Amino acid sequence: MNTEPKRSNEPIFWALFGAGGMWSAVFAPVAVLVFGLLLPFNAGPGEAFSYERLLDLARSFLGRLFIFLMIVLPLWCGLHRIHHCLHDLKLHSPVVRWLCLGFAYTLSLVALFQVIFI
Amino acid sequence: MAEMQRMTLRVSRYNPERDAAPHLELFEVLWDDQSSFLDALAYIKDNLAPDLSYRSSCRMAICGSCGVMVNGEPKLACKTFLRNYPEGALIEPMANFPVERDLVVDLSSFLEFIQALKPYIIGNLRKPEDGPNSQTPAQMAKYHKFAMCINCGLCCAACPQFGLNAGFVGPAALTLGHRYNLDNRDFGRKERMPVINSEKGVWNCTFVGYCSEVCPKHADPAAALQQCKAESAADFVASVLECIKKKEARHAG
């Protein structure tokens, strides 16, 4: 067996997958609670969920960073998982990999663009 | 030999000189509470089908020769007992390996993969006159679990990725390589990491975890592979940093 084989580039995607899984478990439920339930039912105190306040928050550096990571990390996690599930279903074509990871990459660029121009 | 009971076993048979594909044959065996599947195979060979082929040696889960599939699960025949299968059972050769004859599989690629991971101490210059190379309990605890491996191959028969990806070196070889990477007496990490990092290495693992469930020695290969992934990712970052450093040195020079 060749003992100096080609290095796999999987660590990059595994790191994004791992970060995405962690983010989905820790931060995503909070985001769903706050922006999916509390906000539409206006369950916050006073003007906590007013449009101007949230826009200011979204335009701050930390706000932009949170929105970007909230979109991008679960995306890489999910598409990486779909790619590996399709492999398990014997769809081994490199096209599947290109489609899944390419989709995550493209949507990440779109998200970055959107977040910069909020 | 009092109170022997009868049980029907379905055994996969394949003679490459005669058969186009493996087929099942039924055998009625005598058994009691102490009968293992290895005993049952010996009973069949002695009394019913002298041409039945299977591997075995120690009869006590040390040698790792008698791996088979019992009702589709990878098991050591010597460590699995008929009393737990009162309805009878199906015995097949280990999955994910080419069948040579009956229950005997071709392990040559498996052994080649283990060799590629160099599971032995490398680069330790101590001589016998230096005395024993003592370790603290903490240093030993790091790798001890993974050193329990007996190379039976059940983890590879269990691993869906080993079956799907031709060339994946598999959980057994990676666990053994990792065991020596964790040993403070060893200095061979640089020789093992290229295989671990490669497209045939640890990144084929999707953490199904079945390898650890079937391991007869509780060596926990799934844990070894997840630790390998973290090390391989760190090695990846280190290689990128090294590459950048080399580029800068070239520009400066």
Name residues whose C-beta falls within 8 Å of residue B48's C-beta, 6 or more positions apart in sequence: B27, B28, B29
> Which of A2, A7, A91 is most worth mutating to test chain B (most B CB atoms within 10 A of its CB)?
A7
Determine how β-strand B73-76 pairs with β-strand B23-31: unpaired
| Gap from B241 CA to chain A (nearest CA, Å) | 14
- CB contact under 8 Å between A11 and B195, yes or no, is no
Q: What is the pLDDT of residue B2?
A: 64
pLDDT tier for residue B75 given thresholds of 50, 70 and 90: very high
User: Which residues in chain B are contacts of A87 at CB distance < 8 A?
Assistant: 164
User: Which residues in chain B are contacts of A7 at CB distance < 8 A?
Assistant: 194, 197-199, 236, 239
User: Which residues in chain B are contacts of A5 at CB distance < 8 A?
Assistant: 194-195, 198-201
Q: What is the pLDDT of residue B3?
A: 80
> What integer is the mean pLDDT of B27-55?
97
> Which of A2, A4, A6, A8 is most worth mutating to test chain B (most B CB atoms within 10 A of its CB)?
A8
- Read off the pLDDT of residues B117-131 as tens digits, 9 standing for 90 and up: 999 999 999 999 999
pLDDT tier for residue B104 given thresholds of 50, 70 and 90: very high
Q: What is the pLDDT of residue A1?
A: 66
Q: What is the pLDDT of residue A18?
A: 94
pLDDT under 70 in chain A at which residues? 1-3
CA nearest neighbour of B11 among B63, B49, B46, B47: B49
User: Which residues in chain A are contacts of B232 at CB distance < 8 A?
Assistant: 11
Say if B72 is an interface residue toward chain A (CB within 8 Å).
Answer: no
Global pTM reads 0.90
Q: What is the pLDDT of residue B1?
A: 54
- Read off the pLDDT of residues B114-164 as tens digits, 9 standing for 90 and up: 999 999 999 999 999 999 999 999 999 999 999 999 999 999 999 999 999
| Gap from A57 CA to chain B (nearest CA, Å) | 34
Q: Residue by residue, what is the 3-state secondary structure of chain B?
A: CCCCEEEEEEEEECCCCCCCCCEEEEEEEEECCCCEHHHHHHHHHHHHCCCCCCCCCCCCCCCCCCEEEECCEEEEHHHCEHHHCCCCEEEECCCCCCEEECCEECCHHHHHHHHHCCCCCCCCCCCHHHCCCCCCHHHHHHHHHHHHCCCCCHHHHHCHHHHHCCCCCHHHHHHHHHHHHCCCCCCCHHHHHHHHHECCCHHHCCCCCHHHHHCCCCCCHHHHHHHHHHHHHHHHHHHHHHHHHHHHHHHHC
pLDDT for B228 beyond 60: yes
Structure tokens at B84: 């737990």
Q: What is the pLDDT of residue A3?
A: 61
pLDDT for B250 beyond 70: yes
Q: What is the pLDDT of residue B108?
A: 96
Q: What is the pLDDT of residue A48?
A: 85
**Which of B113, B160, B198 is closest, CB to CB, to A8?**
B198
